[in-house]
Every structure is written in structure tokens, then in C-alpha cells.
Chains A and B, each alone.
Chain A
Amino acid sequence: MTAVAVTVTVLLAVAGGLTLTRVIRGPSILDRAVATDVLLAVIVAAIATEAAYSRDATALPVLVVLAVLGFVGSVSVARFAARRHDASTSSTSDGSQT
């Protein structure tokens, strides 16, 4: 089981690193939101693997919170981005900030 844990850790670490480069580079805020979502999925996988490795269920409630939190995060960023776009296009007509 230790070998499995090490393998999974390495794979997830590389995945997390690649995802982080996209978070940093990502040209737009939506790119970053998507990459952050993937990062969250990687973290969930890491916590679940840790729980499986040590046979310790203490961290499982954290997974529930993360599953909901990721949704809230990307939806708010998407709404923010959409609204900012609307404001920038409609500002030519009446300049109302929403």
C-alpha cells in the first residue's frame, strides 16, 4: 500500500503543479477559475487517498465541504465575469454600472 500511496502522491503532485502553472499563466479570470476547480479536484483526490492509506476517516467531512465549495467558487467567478462583460458592452449606451 505504501508503494501505491507514493505513486499516487507523485502523480497528483505533478498534476497539481501543472494546474498551478495554468492558474498563474491563465490569460483570463475564467481560465483561472477552471484551473482552480481542477486543483480542487486534485486536492479532493489527495485527501481521499490519504484517508484510504491511513484508514482514517477524520478528513472525510472536509471532502463534503470541498465538493460544495468548488461549485460556489466557480459559479461566483463566472457570474462576476459575465456581469463585468455586460457592463463593459452596455456602458456605451447609458454608462450605468451594474
Chain B
Amino acid sequence: MSLDVVLDVAASIFLIAGALLSLAAGVALVRFPDLLTRMHAAAKPQVLGLLLVLVGCALRLRTGVDITTLVLVGAFSLATAPVAAHMVGRAAYPTEDIRTDLLVTDELADHLDRIADERESSAPA
């Protein structure tokens, strides 16, 4: 009985924390100035927020089969989120409107041509 209550309370805290992170990401998506900064905000509910919600869910369900499914969801997301973010960032960098006035430094600009050449020659995808 008491263990159930403790687990439920813990699950509630995890779920609410995850939802708060999602909310912060929503606010950031609306307020941040350009695509790249918005992508930072997007990483938040996809990683920590998702993990918190999944842990909360696992604490509530407490059966082996469900927990393995939740572990799988977490593993898939953690493995794929960086790849997707990299693809979008790579597509965005030279083309999209990036607020260069808000950049302290840009060390990619000088190397962009060389990298683009290599990308073309090495990966004819």
C-alpha cells in the first residue's frame, strides 16, 4: 500500500516535470529568433522530457512487458534524435535565415566550401 503511494507520487512528479519541459519547448519555439536556436529548444522534450515521461509511465505500470516497450521507445528516440537534428542543421546552415548578428563567432563559414566539395565527391548519395 505505502509503496504504491510512493511510486504513484514519484510517477506524478516525473510526468509533470516532463510536461513542463514540453511547455518550455513550446514557448521557446515561438520566441527564439532563428531556426538553429529553435532546434536547441526542440531537443529538450525529445530527450529529457521524453525520458521523464517514460520513467513516470513505467513507475505507474510496473509490469515487465510494458517496461521493455518503454525502454525500447526511449532507446529509439535517443538513438535517432541526434541524427535527425544533424540532418536538419546541415540542411539549414548555409541556406536558411540564420541571425548572424546574434552569433559570437562562426568558425564553419571559412570551411564550408571545402567541406561541401568533399561531401559531394565522397558521398554520391
Interface size on A, residues (CB 8 A): 50
Check: B109 CB closer than 8 A to any chain A CB: no
Which residue of chain B is the closest to A9 with respect to CB atoms? B19
Question: For the side of the interface on B, what is the size category?
Answer: 35 or more
Restricting to B64-93, which residues have a CB under 8 Å from any CB of A?
A: 65-66, 69-70, 72-73, 76-77, 80-81, 83-84, 87-88, 90-92
Contact B19 A74 (CB under 8 A): no
A-B contacts at CB below 8 angstroms, number: 173
Q: Residues of A contacting B50 with CB < 8 Å? A: 41, 44-45
Over the window 18-44 of chain A, the binary record of Cβ atoms lying under 8 Å from chain B Cβ atoms (1 yes, 0 no) is 110110000110110111011001101
Main secondary structure of the interface of B (DSSP, over half): helix
Which residue of the partner chain, among A22, A52, A77, A82, contacts B30 with CB atoms under 8 Å? Answer: A22
Please tell me if the beta carbons of B22 and A57 are within 8 angstroms of each other in the complex: no
Whether B88 and A74, one on each chain, are in contact in the complex, defined by CB atoms closer than 8 angstroms, is yes
Minimal Cβ-Cβ distance residue in A for B54? A48
Are A35 and B29 closer than 8 Å at their CB atoms? yes
User: With A17-B26, A57-B69, A75-B87 in contact, do A22 and B38 touch (Cβ < 8 Å)?
Assistant: yes
How far does the Cβ of A37 sit from chain B's closest Cβ, in whole Å? Answer: 6
Given contacts A19-B25, A19-B26, 12 further A-B contacts (CB under 8 A): A18-B27, A19-B29, A22-B38, A28-B96, A34-B39, A38-B25, A44-B73, A45-B49, A45-B50, A52-B61, A60-B69, A71-B76
